[in-house]
Amino acid sequence: MANLEQSDSIDDALAGRVSQHLVNEEQTLVAVLEAVRELHLSLRELDGDKLAKALEVETAALRDAEAQQGQRQQFRQEVARELGIAPQDFTLGKLVPRTTGKLQETIVGSRERLSAMSTEVDRLNRQNAAMIQQSLMLMRGIVSRLTRTAGASESYNAGGGRDEAHVGSLLQWGG
């Protein structure tokens, strides 16, 4: 990604660091997304072996994402210092107006891809949680019927009320 155009506010070294950081962010999030997709698929298929493998892959991807988070904090501090703003105020959105040409396109495109992938990870994680919750509710019901006792481990929501929200059929969680 060398030879990117930039305004006077961004020098070549900073442009290169920005580009490389965005590549690293995308690679990390792609790995997390793929791991969450595999986990989702194994839950839908009720495949225990596939689930165990998916959990291993997800654990590795999350470790990498944690390492990337540390690098992100360092990157924010370095770039914010060079731009003369507070690190907590630095965003890619604030960097875009200080760039032109290919670098600006790279930042905008990367930001859009990262946002879309983050939304997909969140959606799949919510569906995974709902499938797991539904499975737990089903198992509680089966145990209760078999033992003719009420479930011993009730779930409660943040307000202290009993939590039995309907999560829908497993069939609705299709790809």
Would 163 be classed as within a structural domain? no
Residues of the chain with confidence (pLDDT) below 50: 1-8, 152, 165-175
Instruction: Tell me, yes or no, whether 148 lies in a domain.
Output: no
Q: Which domain holds residue 93?
A: 12-120
Residue 170: burial class (beta carbons within 10 Å; 0-12, 13-18, 19+): middle
Whole-model pTM over 0.85:
no
Q: Work out how many domains the chain is built from and give that number.
A: 1
| 157 domain-assigned | no
Q: Is residue 62 in some structural domain? A: yes
Reported as a single tens digit per residue, the pLDDT across 39-63 is 999 999 988 999 999 999 999 999 9
Q: Is residue 137 part of a domain?
A: no
